Structure 1
Amino acid sequence: MVDSTELNRLFWHSRRGMLELDVLLVPFVKEVYPSLDADDQARYRRLLECEDQDMFGWFMQRGESDDPDIQRMVRMILDRVQPK
């Protein structure tokens, strides 16, 4: 279970100031993060350590992270918003 202090901290770290990232990350941390297993929660926290420009490229599918754990999280977030 995620405590409210950690969730609030992650919410603010998920707000990047770049609309394209905010519309993906903020709803994900609010709606999905609490239900993730511990490994995926750790992957999400690592994703937040990445540079905004790198994340922008990954989420716009202009490239992929060299780190398979980060790429897994990018894919999980994109799968949530892209039509099947």
Structure 2
Amino acid sequence: MLTVGSVEKDKSRLKWACRRGMLELDVLFMPFVDEAWEHLSDENKAIFERLLVCQDPELFAWFMGHEECKDAELNSMVQFILGRVKV
């Protein structure tokens, strides 16, 4: 069972992982964790964490629309995050 403290610790760990070498990625990931993380299913949380393991050049290409991610789950998460930003 997760406690409030463990949820905040998990969120802090994620925020640290969201700090990237590219500002364009930081401005996508940091607000997403602040605003949407707690509302994701466990499955989508795992997919987002998998996304954070990807290299910055790949992430940049996917989020800027230069390339499409071949992994369907990761691509779905990229589109979900982009959809939240383009409101």
- Both proteins in one fold, TM over 0.5: yes
Which consecutive aligned stretches of 4+ in structure 1 deviate over 4 angstroms post-superposition?
none
Aligned letter for 1:40? N
- Paired residues of 2:21 and 2:56 also in contact (CA < 8 A): no
TM-align CA RMSD = 1.2
Q: 36, 45, 50: which is aligned to 2:40?
A: 36
Instruction: Please name the residue that 2:72 is paired with.
Output: 68
TM-score calculated relative to the size of structure 2: 0.90
Aligned equivalents of 2:84, 2:51: Cα separation in 1: 16
Aligned equivalents of 1:4, 1:33: Cα separation in 2: 11
Q: 6, 13, 18: which is aligned to 1:9?
A: 13
Aligned equivalents of 1:25, 1:17: Cα separation in 2: 12
TM-score calculated relative to the size of structure 1: 0.93
Which has the larger Rg?
2
Matches within 5 A, 1:21-32: 21-32=25-36
Identity within the alignment, %? 43
Aligned equivalents of 1:65, 1:17: Cα separation in 2: 20
Unaligned runs of 5+ in 2: none
Paired positions, count: 83
The answer to which of 74-83 and 43-52 deviates more is 74-83
Cα distance per residue 1:36-72 (max 9 Å; x no partner) = 0011001100000000000000000011111001001
